[in-house]
Amino acid sequence: MAGFGARPWYGANEVLAFLLELAALGFLSWWGFGAGHQGALRILLGVGTPLLACAVWGLFAAPRARLRPRLPLVLMVKALVLGGGAAALYGVGHPVAAGAVAVVTVVNTAVAEFLRAAPPSVVPVGTGRPSDNS
């Protein structure tokens, strides 16, 4: 989270990304519990689907992922988990919301990759420059 003061759009986009990740897990759980199954299968889908998504995310796509593959695989994992969340929302009967979530997710991911590659345009105060100490 360091550097958010110098790059407020980066910080705002990262917060949005986190909220989209949480929403995807919620949508996956909602779909699992409402998939039309009864008993143990319903619980397995409702709890297991988001847990599996968390495990895959933690291994490959999280900022501190255990295995950090190259960007194309990270983006595929993000598409699988976040796209799966949008698909789950569609599956529970909300196609317009699912489309909106999908569009916001794609834009958020594109902006995140652009901002990560872009050099910071503002130097934070207190970096030791002579003008900061006067």
- 21-64 pLDDT, tens digit per residue, is 999 999 999 999 998 778 899 999 999 999 999 999 999 998 88
Distance in angstroms (rounded) separating the CA atoms of residues 90 and 100? 11
pLDDT per residue over 89-122, tens digit each? 999 999 999 999 999 999 999 998 888 777 665 4
Spell out a b/e string for 81-110, using b for 16 or more CB atoms within 10 Å of the CB, else e: bbbbbbbbbbbbebeeebeebbebbeebbe
Q: What's the token pair of residue 87?
A: 């698909």
Distance in angstroms (rounded) separating the CA atoms of residues 130 and 67? 41
Which class for 39: exposed (0-12), middle (13-18), buried (19 or more C-beta within 10 A)? Answer: exposed
- Its pTM stands at 0.79
pLDDT at 77: 94
